[in-house]
C-alpha cells in the first residue's frame, strides 16, 4: 500500500498519478487518509502521556505508602484508575481508527510512475519496441493452434473438462514434453542470469495474498479452499515474495533475484468468446517467474534487466514480439510501472500477451514490512519487482502456429536439446 508520508509530502504528484488511472476523487481519498493518520497520531500521543502519568503516579504512590501517607496514596490510586480507564477507551478508539485507515489505504492503488501514460484501457498502451518480422500470411493456409494440438494429439481440452472442468487442459505425449522442455529452458536461462531457483508452496494463506496485493483487490479471481483458509496461487510471485515478509535485509544481500516454476490457478470469471479459445485463456497454466527485491536506487535498473532478459528469450525462440508500456487504466492495482510482452499469433493474426514485467516500488514491501538497514542503521522499505519469463500457454500456441509445416511442427533450435526431438509428427 502507498506510504502515508508520500501522500502527505507529494499530494499533488499522487493526485496526478492516480488521475492517470481514472481516479477523479483521489484528492478526497488522500485527505481522508491523512486525517485518519492525524487522528491515529493524536490518540497515540494522548495514550503515551497517560501511560507516563500512570508510571509517575505509581512511583509516587509507593513513596507515599512508605512514608505513612496512606490517605494521599489512596487518592492517587483512584486517579490512576481513572487514567487506566481512559487508556482503555483510547486504545479502543485507536483500534477503530487504525482499521478504518488500513481499509482506506488498501482501497488505494499504487501511484503510477511518471512515465506511465494516461488512459482508460488497453487502447492507450504505448508500444515501446517491436522485434521480428510479421509474415504475410494471407497467401498461406495457416491453422490455429487449437486445430494443431488436436490433430497432433498434443493437448486435450475435452479430457481436462471431463476430469476437472473447462479451462483445465491435459498435455499429452510430445505436447507434454514440449511443455516440460520450455519450463526447463526458462529456468536454466534465469539461473544462468543469476537467479536462485526455488520451489515454493502452491497454496498461500491470507496474509501472503494480502502482502503482495491479491487481497482484497483480486479476491474473486483466486481459487479458495474454505476448509483450510488457503488460496491456490495465481502466480509464484505470491509465495516467493512472501518468503521475505517481515525481514530486514542487509545492503550486502541486495539485490535478491529468484526464479520459480509453478502451476498457476485463476478463475478468470467473465471470460468468453474467441479470445479464450484453445490455450488463449485457461484456468490452470504453467509459468516461470522472476522476483527481484532491490534497493530503491537500483530498482529501475533491475526492471530494465528483467525486460532485457525476457526480450532475449523471445529472440532465441525466434518469435516476433512487441513491448507495451501499460497506461494508467490498464496498469495492475499494485504496479507503479509495467511492461507487457506480446507475441504475434500468425494464424489468429493478433497479438497475445505472454509476460508482464513490473516494478511495485514500496507498495508491496509496505504491506510486507520488507525492509533494509541503511548505512546509518535506519530501516527503510525495499522495492519489489516481478516478471513472467514466461507464461506457457500462449507461448506454446505461438510456437505451434509459427513452426507448422506440411510435414509437422518444427522445434526451434534452442529447444531441441530440451525436447529430444526436432519435429512434432503425427502418431
Rounded alpha-carbon distances, angstroms, from residue 58 to 54, 63, 74, 82, 159 = 6, 9, 11, 13, 75
* Rounded distance between C-alpha atoms, residue 213 and residue 87, angstroms: 34
| Residue 355 marked ligand-binding | yes
| Residue 284 marked ligand-binding | yes
> CA torsion sign, 194 to 199 to 205 to 209?
positive
| Residue 125 marked ligand-binding | no
| Residue 85 marked ligand-binding | no
Looking at residue 284, what DSSP letter applies? E
Q: Which of 420, 396, 400, 397 is nearest to 410 (CA)?
A: 400
| Residue 244 marked ligand-binding | no
| Residue 386 marked ligand-binding | yes
| Residue 353 marked ligand-binding | yes
Query: Dihedral through CA 65, CA 67, CA 69, CA 72, nearest 10?
Result: -70
378: which residues sit within 8 A by CB, 6+ positions away?
Answer: none
Cell reading at 131: 522485434
Residue 276 Cα to chain centre, angstroms: 23
| Residue 354 marked ligand-binding | yes
Burial of 33 (0-12, 13-18, 19+ CB in 10 A): buried
| Residue 285 marked ligand-binding | yes
| Residue 147 marked ligand-binding | no
List residues forming the annotated binding site for ATP.
Answer: 266-268, 282-285, 353-356
List residues forming the annotated binding site for L-serine.
Answer: 235, 266, 289, 386
List residues forming the annotated binding site.
Answer: 235, 266-268, 282-285, 289, 353-356, 386
Amino acid at each position: 500500500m502507498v506510504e502515508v508520508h508520500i501522500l502527505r509530502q507529494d499530494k499533488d504528484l499522487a493526485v496526478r498519478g492516480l488521475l492517470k488511472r481514472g481516479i477523479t476523487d483521489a484528492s478526497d481519498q488522500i485527505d481522508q487518509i491523512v486525517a485518519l493518520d492525524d487522528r491515529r497520531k493524536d490518540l497515540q500521543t494522548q495514550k503515551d502521556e497517560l501511560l507516563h502519568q500512570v508510571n509517575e503516579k505509581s512511583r509516587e504512590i509507593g513513596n507515599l505508602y512508605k512514608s505513612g501517607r496512606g490517605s494521599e496514596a489512596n487518592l492517587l490510586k483512584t486517579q490512576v484508575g481513572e487514567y487506566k480507564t481512559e487508556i482503555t477507551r483510547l486504545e479502543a478508539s485507536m483500534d477503530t481508527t487504525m482499521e478504518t485507515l488500513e481499509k482506506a489505504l488498501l482501497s488505494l492503488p499504487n501511484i503510477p510512475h511518471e512515465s506511465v501514460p494516461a488512459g482508460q484501457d488497453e487502447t492507450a498502451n504505448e508500444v515501446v519496441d517491436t522485434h521480428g518480422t510479421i509474415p504475410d500470411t494471407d497467401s498461406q493456409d495457416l491453422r490455429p493452434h487449437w486445430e494443431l494440438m488436436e490433430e497432433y494429439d498434443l493437448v486435450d481440452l475435452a479430457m481436462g473438462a471431463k476430469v476437472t472442468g473447462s479451462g483445465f487442459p491435459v498435455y499429452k505425449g510430445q505436447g507434454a514434453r514440449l511443455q516440460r522442455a520450455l519450463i526447463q529452458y526458462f529456468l536454466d536461462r534465469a539461473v544462468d542470469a543469476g537467479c536462485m531457483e526455488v520451489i515454493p508452496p502452491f497454496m498461500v494463506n491470507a496474509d501472503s495474498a494480502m502482502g503482495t496485493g491479491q487481497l482484497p483487490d483480486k479476491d474473486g479471481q483466486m481459487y479458495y479452499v474454505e476448509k483450510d483458509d488457503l488460496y491456490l496461487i495465481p502466480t509464484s510471485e505470491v509465495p516467493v515474495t512472501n518468503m521475505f515478509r517481515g525481514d530486514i535485509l542487509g545492503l550486502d544481500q541486495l539485490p535478491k533475484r529468484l526464479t520459480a516454476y509453478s502451476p498457476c490457478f485463476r478463475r478468470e470469471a467473465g471470460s468468453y468468446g474467441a479470445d479464450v479459445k484453445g490455450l488463449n485463456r485457461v484456468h490452470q497454466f504453467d509459468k516461470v517467474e522472476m522476483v527481484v527485491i532491490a534497493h530503491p536506487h537500483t530498482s529501475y535498473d533491475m526492471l530494465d534487466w528483467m525486460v532485457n532478459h525476457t526480450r532475449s528469450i523471445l529472440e532465441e525462440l525466434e518469435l516476433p514480439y512487441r513491448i507495451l508500456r501499460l497506461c494508467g487504466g490498464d496498469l495492475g492495482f499494485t504496479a507503479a510501472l509495467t511492461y507487457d510482452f506480446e507475441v504475434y499469433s500468425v494464424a489468429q493474426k493478433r497479438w497475445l500477451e505472454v509476460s508482464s514485467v513490473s516494478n511495485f516500488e514500496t507498495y508491496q514491501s509496505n504491506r510486507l514490512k520488507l525492509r533494509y538497514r541503511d548505512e546509518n542503521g535506519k530501516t527503510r522499505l525495499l522495492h519489489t519487482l516481478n516478471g513472467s519469463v514466461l507464461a506457457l500457454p500462449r507461448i506454446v500456441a505461438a510456437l505451434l502456429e509459427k513452426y507448422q509445416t506440411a510435414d509437422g511442427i518444427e522445434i526451434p533450435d534452442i529447444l531441441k536439446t530440451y525436447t529430444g526431438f526436432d519435429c512434432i509428427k503425427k502418431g
